[in-house]
């Protein structure tokens, strides 16, 4: 497994003041960390967590999925309070598993799906399932294209984060 650790430093208003190892097609400095999230539920929960970390001056650790074409990837996110409301975010790849199929992330089918921003599962009917399962079992995607998707947050992830926040609060 490749070593992958990305770091962000955020000021008290969550603007990015420094990054390490973050490869992006534009300069991130000065942008707000939440400019890159498009699900309001997730933004709200993360903002609450950031606020609590600053108030309690205690490290918060959680995990989330950020897959790519070839691999299902589990990341650990460590949120560390520094002085003056500054937060250090460390995103660390902790587990990587090959996908059963290779997705072509460049091409998109025209159908719109919802993808949980936190576990990367896709909404099919009332359930959230792995994209691979959707491709393999349901044959819903042509040619392994990733569908057009909009981010959302599934109930399980929402509950997981809220529970972690509750434990953190104790």
Q: How far apart are CA 159 and CA 24, in angstroms?
A: 30
34 burial via Cβ count (<10 Å: 0-12, 13-18, 19+): middle
Q: Can you say how many angstroms the Cα of residue 97 is from the centroid of all Cα atoms in its chain?
A: 17
Q: According to CB under 5 A, which one of 10, 116, 131, 135 is a site residue for Zn ion?
A: 116
Number of residues that bind Zn ion (CB under 5 A): 5
Is residue 118 close enough to count as binding Zn ion by CB under 5 A? Answer: yes
Asked if residues 147 and 109 have their Cβ atoms less than 8 Å apart, the reply is yes
Q: Is 59 left (phi over 0), alpha (psi -120 to 50) or beta?
A: beta
Beta carbon of residue 45, minimum distance to Zn ion (angstroms, whole number) = 12
Asked if residues 97 and 75 have their Cβ atoms less than 8 Å apart, the reply is no
Minimum CB distance to Zn ion smaller for 54 or for 128: 128
- Torsion sign over Cα 91, 87, 43, 30: negative
164 burial via Cβ count (<10 Å: 0-12, 13-18, 19+): middle
Is residue 131 close enough to count as binding Zn ion by CB under 5 A? Answer: no
Beta carbon of residue 38, minimum distance to Zn ion (angstroms, whole number) = 15
Minimum CB distance to Zn ion smaller for 130 or for 144: 130
Q: According to CB under 5 A, which one of 74, 119, 134, 141 is a site residue for Zn ion?
A: 119
Q: Which stretch binds Zn ion (CB under 5 A): 1-9, 94-102, 132-140, 147-155?
A: 147-155
Is residue 157 close enough to count as binding Zn ion by CB under 5 A? Answer: yes
Is residue 154 close enough to count as binding Zn ion by CB under 5 A? Answer: yes
Q: Is 42 left (phi over 0), alpha (psi -120 to 50) or beta?
A: alpha
Beta carbon of residue 160, minimum distance to Zn ion (angstroms, whole number) = 8
User: Per-residue string for binding with Zn ion, 59-98, x by CB under 5 A?
Assistant: ----------------------------------------
Given the rule CB under 5 A, which residues bind Zn ion? Answer: 116, 118-119, 154, 157
């Amino acid at each position: 497994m490749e070593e992958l650790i990305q770091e962000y430093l955020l000021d008290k208003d969550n603007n990015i003041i420094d990054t390490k190892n973050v490869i992006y097609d534009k300069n991130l400095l000065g942008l707000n960390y939440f400019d890159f999230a498009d699900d309001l539920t997730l933004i709200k929960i993360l903002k609450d967590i950031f606020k609590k970390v600053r108030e309690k001056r205690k490290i918060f650790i959680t995990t989330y999925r950020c897959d790519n074409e070839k691999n299902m990837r589990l990341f650990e996110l460590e949120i560390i309070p520094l002085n003056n409301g500054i937060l250090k975010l460390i995103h660390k790849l902790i587990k990587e598993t090959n996908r059963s199929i290779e997705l072509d992330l460049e091409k998109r089918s025209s159908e719109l799906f919802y993808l949980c921003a936190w576990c990367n599962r896709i909404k099919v009917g009332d359930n959230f399932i792995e994209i691979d399962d959707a491709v393999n079992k349901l044959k819903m995607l042509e040619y392994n294209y990733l569908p057009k998707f909009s981010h959302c947050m599934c109930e399980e992830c929402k509950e997981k984060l809220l529970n972690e926040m509750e434990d953190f609060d104790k």
